[in-house]
Amino acid sequence: MDIDKKRTPLTRFLRAKASRGYIQKVLAKITLPDYTTFSIYAVIIGALAGLASVFFHDSIEFFNQIFFEQTAEGLFFLGAAAVIVLPALGMLIQAIMIKTSPNIAEKKGVSEVIKSVALRGGYIPLRTTIFHFIAPVICIGSGGTVGPEGPAAQLGGGVSSKLCQLIGLSDNRRRVFTAAGSGAAIAAIFNTPLGGVFFALEIILLNDFNAPTLSALILASVTASAISRIFLGNVSVFSFGTPNIGSYSYIYLYAVFGIIAGLVSILFIRYSSSTGRLFRKKILNKGVPQWLIMIAVGLLVGVSGFYFKDIFGIGYLGINNILAGKLVWKVVLVLFLLKFFLVPLILNSGGFGGLFAPSLFMGACLGFLYATLANYLFGFNLDITTYILVGMGAMLGGINTIPITSILIIFEMTKEYSFILPLMLAVIISTTISRLVLKGSVHIKHLEEQGYQITEGRESNILKSIFIKDIKLDEIELVPDTTKLPVLIEKMIQSPSNSFYTVNDKNQITGTITESELRPIMTEYENVKDFFVASDVANPHVIFVKKNDDLDYVLRLFSKLNVDNIPVVEDEESKTILGAINRQEILSIYNRESLKINLADGLSKELRTIKEASSSSVTAGYSISEITVPSEFIGKSLSELKIRGNYGLEVLMIKHPNDLFEDSAEKELIISTDPNYRLRREDKLVLFGRDENIENFKKI
Query: What pLDDT does 5 receive?
Result: 47
Residue-wise pLDDT tens digits, 232-288: 888 888 888 888 988 888 899 999 999 999 999 999 999 999 998 888 777 777 778
Measuring CA to CA, how many Å separate 665 from each of 106, 271, 272, 281, 503? Answer: 19, 22, 21, 7, 63
- What is the average per-residue pLDDT within 399-422? 92
Query: What pLDDT does 596 receive?
Result: 60
| Angle ∠(521,525,529) on CA atoms, nearest 5 | 110
The Cα–Cα gap between 627 and 632 comes to: 14
| Angle ∠(16,17,22) on CA atoms, nearest 5 | 95
Strands (E), 255-412: none
Going by pLDDT thresholds of 50, 70 and 90, the confidence category of residue 666 is: very low
Phi–psi pair at 243, nearest 5 degrees: -65, 150
292: closest CA among 86, 140, 95, 81? 95
Going by pLDDT thresholds of 50, 70 and 90, the confidence category of residue 7 is: very low
Q: Is the pLDDT of residue 22 over 80?
A: no
Measuring CA to CA, how many Å separate 485 from each of 64, 288, 403? Answer: 76, 79, 51
Phi–psi pair at 533, nearest 5 degrees: -120, 175
Residue-wise pLDDT tens digits, 310-351: 999 899 999 999 999 999 999 999 999 999 999 999 999 999
Neighbours of 421 (CB within 10 A): 14
Going by pLDDT thresholds of 50, 70 and 90, the confidence category of residue 664 is: very low
The Cα–Cα gap between 327 and 289 comes to: 39
Long-range own/partner contacts, residues 559-565 (CB < 8 A, 24 or more apart): 559/456, 563/499, 563/512, 563/514, 564/497, 564/498, 564/499, 565/474, 565/476, 565/497, 565/499
Q: Is the pLDDT of residue 608 over 90?
A: no
Query: What pLDDT does 216 receive?
Result: 87
Q: Strands across the sheet with 545-546, in order?
A: 545-546, 565-569, 577-582
Q: Is the pLDDT of residue 532 over 50?
A: yes
The amino acid at 629: V
Tally of helices (H runs) and strands (E runs) in the chain:
31, 13
197: closest CA among 181, 208, 210? 181
Phi–psi pair at 566, nearest 5 degrees: -130, 135
- What is the average per-residue pLDDT within 668-673? 65
Q: What is the DSSP letter of 533?
A: B
Measuring CA to CA, how many Å separate 277 from each of 140, 183, 663? Answer: 24, 30, 11
Query: For a pLDDT cut of 70, what percent of the chain falls above it?
Result: 82
Query: Is pLDDT larger for residue 441 or for residue 600?
Result: 441
Q: Strands across the sheet with 509-513, in order?
A: 478-480, 500-503, 509-513
Query: What pLDDT does 399 receive?
Result: 95
* Longest CA–CA separation in the chain, Å: 102
Going by pLDDT thresholds of 50, 70 and 90, the confidence category of residue 37 is: confident
Q: Is the pLDDT of residue 613 over 50?
A: no
Helices (H), 146-199: 149-167, 171-190, 193-199
The amino acid at 171: D
- What is the average per-residue pLDDT within 111-139? 87
Measuring CA to CA, how many Å separate 615 from each of 444, 646, 690? Answer: 33, 20, 11
Q: What is the DSSP letter of 281?
A: I
Query: What pLDDT does 75 receive?
Result: 56
Q: Is the pLDDT of residue 393 over 50?
A: yes
The Cα–Cα gap between 324 and 97 comes to: 39
Going by pLDDT thresholds of 50, 70 and 90, the confidence category of residue 195 is: very high
Length of the chain equals 700
Q: Is the pLDDT of residue 394 over 80?
A: yes
Average model confidence (pLDDT) for the chain?
82
Q: Name the 3-class secondary structure at 324.
A: coil
Q: Residues 438, 445: contact at Cβ < 8 Å? A: yes
Query: What pLDDT does 410 receive?
Result: 94
Q: Name the 3-class secondary structure at 148.
A: coil
Query: What pLDDT does 618 receive?
Result: 57
Phi–psi pair at 648, nearest 5 degrees: 70, 30
Question: For the purposes of burial, counting CB atoms within 10 Å of the CB of 326, is it exposed (0-12), middle (13-18) or buried (19 or more)?
Answer: exposed
Phi–psi pair at 372, nearest 5 degrees: -65, -45
Q: Residues 391, 255: contact at Cβ < 8 Å? A: no
Q: Is the pLDDT of residue 97 over 70?
A: yes
Going by pLDDT thresholds of 50, 70 and 90, the confidence category of residue 386 is: very high
Question: For the purposes of burial, counting CB atoms within 10 Å of the CB of 527, is it exposed (0-12), middle (13-18) or buried (19 or more)?
Answer: exposed
Q: Is the pLDDT of residue 592 over 80?
A: no
| Angle ∠(61,64,66) on CA atoms, nearest 5 | 115
